[in-house]
């Protein structure tokens, strides 16, 4: 037997090895093995088994590192797809699918000493009073950890060992799991009664879990949008397994639909994966799922995977899933690779969030990977959001996904009343730009007097965004990046939010020709909002939630628990507090500057602003008291802000999708971002110019090949501009089976300096590619990178379907 092994080092190809007879029963597809490579011994994963090889004199597999196989066949196929679609070596994808804690050569299990009582025939030997007390504790508990016994009895290990010498107890090492939620007291909950819209959505998902394509007759809405729900066969969808888009307003009970759908999947003997976009959401989500599923004999039914777990906790949680003891997995984007088998349901909560996109290779999008995994393993996929991405909603409108709508909040609660405050007028009245308008200040006062809670949102951390001199115009900038340094008052440092460079805070202008003491801080961040709020309301209990203060994994849980328990009156934060959190006593949400990201050079800027405002506004009025939202903005009449004020997603969608259609942006094309980086700006720019010529040649050659291949075909190429504008781009899931070779519609923009030209000492130039056929473009880019000669100190990164063009 021959094993085709993908090594964990950067080799770019698989190698054939002979499987010794004594290892034949242990080697399977997905098995991790150690093999020789030259004089070294390296690790790899068996990706294929064969009877023979075209190469003679194969070296043998040295040993099997893991049994059973760590990788399921489905996950191996998923890694191969990621490698092809995201232009990334297969070994990098395999390292992503298998966490570091699992790939360690030595088993990562933790062993702990346990003390167990031994039945004694006849009379006890003579014991001291202390020894007798210890023995009684052990007999009462039957078995307990040695550390716990020492604490309970107030004794020493030597005393326990003397009992062992007398044959009364046995001290043995045992494997113990590290449970990140072991000390949490979670009360069990039961399924809630669903409203009609929730019930229809649940029935559609349950029908799909049974292997049918039944869809509900109505979507729970009214008007033309109520008729959008359709089965996945409509509009020529090529998806093999159903994908649902659960579009429900904030507070509409999407999570309860998830919980009951997962319960049904478990009844069918299938597992589920639930993705959440922010680690800050994980504690509250885990609590709700454990309360529903983890009681009695099912204590280990829910596993958690995210980056704030220790290596040991991640190791134990992963193996709990692989062994089938955990059937529900909750986590951030990497949880999509959890080895759940058989997998029945994948839920992507807040599917529009850009945090689902991985910034390092492989630059995958967890939502798209979830859909592809669902197709590969026959699992139902549910995408949930109050503000779906335009791409997902467009696919639902065209019938590629099934649209399920929850148009109202549960229990008849009203959507919060939203007021937009023109900060230009507030600045004129205050003779300067205030942090809090008069209306917001009065609204906070009323809430605090009534004992209600307030959330204040500003998507910018730090104290001030820049340090500048009003006399000479000096601005403190990062030495490594082309941005200003942010002032952090608590640490008394100037910090770069891109590279992490820090500098001292000057007392006078650093400009040698100026040296003015009138240097001042411009702009604001959450730290300054918190300080100003404490001065305005000295008796208010204020908490702040941003990455500056959320350092440890317990910080999220502690702060959210304090806010839920009413120990805090006001919560100030960045996007961590913008979505998914449920606090019934929050009746006011204040958005400090709503248009911070509105004017960025990115075609998704308006969409992101609308989503963020709608999500933050949704934190208000989730209890018995109607909520209110005050939005402070300098461009108050921008459509994104006005549609968010009216909670009008469909209105925003119709306007924004028309802009995308005219300019041929997603979903009418897919985007690839090519970034060249180097420390010499001229060399990077020159290389980018050469790369553009190579891309133009690649496009023209591809168009000629496609014409030749389609000479006898009845399917015309997309040549007419009107057709190209209205035809949708293929989705990543459809890309699996794509045979299209045409790239005549490829649009090449650039090269141009990146919006942040210099980052982490590297100058950056970008080329943006747009096409309807991303699969073919990925293939061509992979071939191009093999032949295109880069200067020694210039690197190229390829980002397929980027969510950020900055």
pLDDT tens-digit profile of 150-159? Answer: 888 888 888 8
Give yes or no for a contact between 464 and 487, defined as CB atoms under 8 angstroms apart: yes
* Region of poorest pLDDT, from 77-91, 175-189, 324-338, 718-732: 718-732
Q: Which two three-digit tokens encode residue 369?
A: 């990977």
Q: Predicted confidence band at 176 (pLDDT cuts at 50, 70, 90)?
A: low
Q: What average pLDDT score do residues 658-684 get?
A: 94
Evaluate if residue 222 carries a pLDDT over 50. no
Could you read off the pLDDT of 620-651 as tens digits, one per residue?
A: 877 778 888 999 999 999 999 999 999 999 99
In the block, which residue shows the tokens 């809430």?
Answer: 447
The Cα–Cα gap between 155 and 114 comes to 15
**Band of residue 325 on the pLDDT scale cut at 50, 70, 90:** confident
Residue 224 gets the label, from left (phi > 0), alpha (psi -120 to 50) or beta, of alpha
Residue 181's pLDDT band (cuts 50, 70, 90): low
Residue 541 has pLDDT above 50, yes or no: yes
Percentage of residues in the chain with pLDDT exceeding 90? 36
Tokens 């980056």 sit on residue: 307
* pLDDT above 80: residue 415: yes
Q: Burial-class residue 199 by CB neighbours within 10 Å (0-12, 13-18, 19+).
A: middle
Looking at every residue in the chain, the average pLDDT score rounds to 83
Query: Per residue in 8-49, pLDDT tens?
Result: 887 777 899 998 988 888 888 888 888 999 888 888 888 888
Eight-class DSSP state of 464: B
Q: Is the pLDDT of residue 672 over 90?
A: yes
577/546 Cα distance (integer angstroms): 9
* Number of Cβ within a 10 Å radius of residue 250: 25
What does the CA dihedral 609, 612, 613, 616 come to, rounded to 10 degrees?
A: -170
pLDDT in the model for residue 345: 95
Region of 270 on the Ramachandran plot (φ > 0 left; ψ -120 to 50 alpha; else beta): beta
Contacts of 378 (CB under 8 A, 6+ apart): 240, 241
Higher pLDDT, 319 or 731: 319
What are the Cα distances from residue 658, in Å, to 652, 665, 802? 10, 10, 21
pLDDT at position 295 is 67
Q: Are 464 and 472 in contact (CB under 8 A)?
A: no
DSSP 730: P
Cα-based distances in Å from 345 to 137, 303, 342, 371, 644: 46, 15, 10, 11, 31
Which position has the token pair 């649940």? 202
The pLDDT, as a whole number, for residue 723 is 37
What does the pLDDT read at residue 180? 63
> Is residue 228 pLDDT above 70, yes or no?
no
pTM for this structure?
0.84
- pLDDT value of residue 802: 94
Average pLDDT over residues 127-135: 82
Query: What pLDDT, on the 0 to 100 scale, is given for residue 25?
Result: 86
> What mean pLDDT is predicted for residues 46-73?
85
Report whether pLDDT(724) > 60. Answer: no
pLDDT of residue 214 exceeding 70, the answer is no
Q: Please state, in angstroms and rounded to a whole number, the distance separating the CA atoms of residues 32 and 100.
A: 13
pLDDT band at residue 401 using 50, 70 and 90 as cut-offs? very high
Residue 736: pLDDT above 70?
no
Q: Which structure tokens are listed for 208?
A: 């799909």
pLDDT band for position 583 (50/70/90)?
confident
Pairing type for strands 110-117 and 14-18 reads: unpaired
In a 10 Å sphere around its CB, with 0-12 CB exposed, 13-18 middle and 19+ buried, how is residue 152 labelled?
A: middle
Give exposure, 749-763, as e/b (b: 16+ Cβ within 10 Å). ebbebbeebbbeebb
Distances (CA, A) of 102 to 27, 44, 65, 99, 323: 18, 13, 11, 5, 13
Band of the pLDDT at 231, cuts 50, 70, 90? very low
| Residue 553 pLDDT | 67
Instruction: Give the chain's length.
Output: 806
Of residues 226 and 773, more confidence is placed in 773
Evaluate if residue 718 carries a pLDDT over 60.
Answer: no
Map 767-800 to HEC letters.
EEEEECCHHHHHHHHHHHHHHCCCCCCEEEEEEE
């Amino acid at each position: 037997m021959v094993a085709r092994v993908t090594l964990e080092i950067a080799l770019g190809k698989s190698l054939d090895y002979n499987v010794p007879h004594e290892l034949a029963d242990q080697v399977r597809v997905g098995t991790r093995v150690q093999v020789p490579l030259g004089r070294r011994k390296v690790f790899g994963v068996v990706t294929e088994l064969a009877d023979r090889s075209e190469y003679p004199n194969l070296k043998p597999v040295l040993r099997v590192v893991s049994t059973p196989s760590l990788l399921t066949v489905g996950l191996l196929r998923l890694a191969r797809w990621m490698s092809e679609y995201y232009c990334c070596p297969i070994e990098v994808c395999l390292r992503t699918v298998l966490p570091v804690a699992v790939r360690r050569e030595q088993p990562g299990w933790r062993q702990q000493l346990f003390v167990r009582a031994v039945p004694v025939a006849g009379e006890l030997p003579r014991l001291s009073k202390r020894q007798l007390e210890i023995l009684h504790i052990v007999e009462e508990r039957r078995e307990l950890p040695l550390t716990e016994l020492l604490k309970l009895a107030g004794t020493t290990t030597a005393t326990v060992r003397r009992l062992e010498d007398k044959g009364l107890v046995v001290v043995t090492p045992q494997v113990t799991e590290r449970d990140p939620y072991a000390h949490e007291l979670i009360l069990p909950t039961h399924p809630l009664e669903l409203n009609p819209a929730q019930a229809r959505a649940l029935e559609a998902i349950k029908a799909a879990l049974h292997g049918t394509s039944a869809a509900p007759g109505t979507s729970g809405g009214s008007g033309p949008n109520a008729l959008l729900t359709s089965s996945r066969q409509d509009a020529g969808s090529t998806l093999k397994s159903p994908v649902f888009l659960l579009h429900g307003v904030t507070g509409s009970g999407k999570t309860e639909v998830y919980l009951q759908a997962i319960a049904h999947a478990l009844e069918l003997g299938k597992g589920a994966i639930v993705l959440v976009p922010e680690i800050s959401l994980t504690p509250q989500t885990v609590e709700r799922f454990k309360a529903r599923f983890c009681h009695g004999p099912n204590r280990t039914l829910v596993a958690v995977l995210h980056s704030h777990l220790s290596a040991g906790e991640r190791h134990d949680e992963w193996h709990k899933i692989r062994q089938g003891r955990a059937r529900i997995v909750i986590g951030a984007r990497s949880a999509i690779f959890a080895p759940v088998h058989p997998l029945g349901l994948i839920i992507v909560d807040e599917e529009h969030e850009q945090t689902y996109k991985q910034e390092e290779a492989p630059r995958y999008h967890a939502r798209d990977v979830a859909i592809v995994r669902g197709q590969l393993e026959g699992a139902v996929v549910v995408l949930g959001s109050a503000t779906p991405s335009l791409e997902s909603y467009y696919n639902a409108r065209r019938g590629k996904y099934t649209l399920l709508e929850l148009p109202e909040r549960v229990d008849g609660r009203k959507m919060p009343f939203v007021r937009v405050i023109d900060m230009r007028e507030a600045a004129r009245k205050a003779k300067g730009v205030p942090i809090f308008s008069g209306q917001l200040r009065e609204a906070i006062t009323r809430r605090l007097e009534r004992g209600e809670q307030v959330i204040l949102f500003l998507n910018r951390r730090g104290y001030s965004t820049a340090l500048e001199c009003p006399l000479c115009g000096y601005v403190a900038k990062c030495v490594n990046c082309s941005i200003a340094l942010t002032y952090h008052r608590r640490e008394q440092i100037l910090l770069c939010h891109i590279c992490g460079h820090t500098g001292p805070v000057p007392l006078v202008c650093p400009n040698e020709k100026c040296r003015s003491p009138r240097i001042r801080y411009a702009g604001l961040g959450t730290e300054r909002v918190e300080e100003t709020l404490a001065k305005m309301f000295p008796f208010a209990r204020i908490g702040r939630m941003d990455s500056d203060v959320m350092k440890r994994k317990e910080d999220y849980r502690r702060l959210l628990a304090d806010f839920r328990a009413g120990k805090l009156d006001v919560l100030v934060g960045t996007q961590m507090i913008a979505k998914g959190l449920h606090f019934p006593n929050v009746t006011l949400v204040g958005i400090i500057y709503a248009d911070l990201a509105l004017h960025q050079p990115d075609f998704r800027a308006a969409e992101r602003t609308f989503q963020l405002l709608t999500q933050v506004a949704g934190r208000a009025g989730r209890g018995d008291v109607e909520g209110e939202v005050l939005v402070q903005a300098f461009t108050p009449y921008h459509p994104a802000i006005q549609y968010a004020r009216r909670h009008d997603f469909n209105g925003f969608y119709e306007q924004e999708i028309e802009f995308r259609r005219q300019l041929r942006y997603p979903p009418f094309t897919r985007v690839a971002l090519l970034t060249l980086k180097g420390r010499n700006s001229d060399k990077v720019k020159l290389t980018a110019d050469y790369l553009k010529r190579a891309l133009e040649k690649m496009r023209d050659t591809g168009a000629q090949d496609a014409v030749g291949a389609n000479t006898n075909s009845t399917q015309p190429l997309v040549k007419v501009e009107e057709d190209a504008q209205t035809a949708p781009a293929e989705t990543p899931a459809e890309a699996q089976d794509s045979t299209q070779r045409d790239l005549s519609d490829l649009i090449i923009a650039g090269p141009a300096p990146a919006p942040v030209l210099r980052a982490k000492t590297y100058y950056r130039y970008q080329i943006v590619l747009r096409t309807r056929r991303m699969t073919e473009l990925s293939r061509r880019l992979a071939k191009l990178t093999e032949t295109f000669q880069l200067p020694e100190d210039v690197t190229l990164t390829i980002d397929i379907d980027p969510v950020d063009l900055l």
